[in-house]
Amino acid sequence: MFVTLLVHALQHRHGLSPAASYAVAAGAAVAVDYSVDMALKRIMVVPPSERVPGLLATIRSFFVGQEHGVLRSVQLVHRGLSAKVVEFSVNYGVMGFTSVYTYAALRRLMGDELDNGK
């Protein structure tokens, strides 16, 4: 929902192309979700014989009680963020770019049926 609303706002309020709006929205979604994604990955590697910590407790453990301070903890936890943002931005940017041509081709084939949902 977040990405859909952001794509819509970027296209209609800020005049970005579909390719640019998809790329920005994908990058934003990755940035927002990164800590949760890292926590889930950490939870999934817990051996079956051990107690699995909760999601919030795992996220909190990234930042609280670390010997090198909160800012360094944020830097360490998010060290792969830039590569992941670029990966998803390029992927979804290409998707946004091709969606324009796909929609145009479908509209040519189907005419008004595509817009009216028939």
Q: What is the pLDDT of residues 49-97, one digit of tens each?
A: 999 999 999 988 887 766 777 777 777 778 888 999 999 999 999 999 9
- What does the pLDDT average to over 30-58? 91
- Residue that wins the pLDDT comparison between 67 and 17: 17
- Which residues, 6 or more positions from 3, have their beta carbon under 8 angstroms from its beta carbon? 25, 26, 28, 29
| pTM, 2 dp | 0.70
Three-state secondary-structure class, residue 100: helix
Give the angle subtended at the CA of 26 by the CAs of 77 and 22, to the nearest 5°. Answer: 165
Asked if 89 contacts 24 with a C-beta cutoff of 8 angstroms, the reply is: yes
> What pLDDT shows up at residue 86?
94
Across the chain, mean pLDDT equals 86
